Structure 1
Amino acid sequence: MKVAVREGKCKGYGFCADLAPNAYELDGSGYNALVGQPPARVPAGLEGEAREGAEACPLRALVVEESDDDASGPAPAPRR
C-alpha cells in the first residue's frame, strides 16, 4: 500500500496525523509531510491506520493506493 497527497489539496487541518500518528507526519507548517513527494509506502501493520487517517481528511487530499507492485506477481502471458 502507498499513500500520496493530491497536489494543492492539503490545507493543514492535521486530522490525518491526529488519527494516524504512526502513518502520517506533519511538517513544520502543519501540512502533511508528503505534500510534493512521490507516493510513500505504508509500513507493514499500519495499513488500517493509514486508511483511517486518509478518510479523516475533509478535503480528501490523501490518496491510498491499495495495490502493491511487490505483491502483484508477474505480468500475465500475452493472449494469442
Structure 2
Amino acid sequence: MAQPAPTAPQATAAATCQSYWPTPYPVCGAILDLYKSLGGPSSTLSYPKSSEAPAGDGIGTRQAFLGGTVYYSPTTGAYIE
C-alpha cells in the first residue's frame, strides 16, 4: 500500500528551515529570512548556537547565534536584539 503524502504543516516546516554545518541547530521561518539576508554564517551573527525557543514574553521566539540573538514576533517581525 502506498504511503500517504506528508501533511501540510510537516512539509511547510521542513521547507522553511535550514541547517548550517557544523552546528546541529536549524534556522527557520522569519529568522531564517533575516539570517539569509544578512549573509548567513558569513554575517556578524555567524553560526546558530541554539534552536529557536519561546522568548518568555508569551508572544515571540528567540534564537541565539555566536554573534548575537534574533527575536521574532508576528507584530515586529525578526530583528537582531
TM-score (norm 1): 0.26
Q: Whose RCO is larger (CA < 8 A, sep 6+)?
A: 1
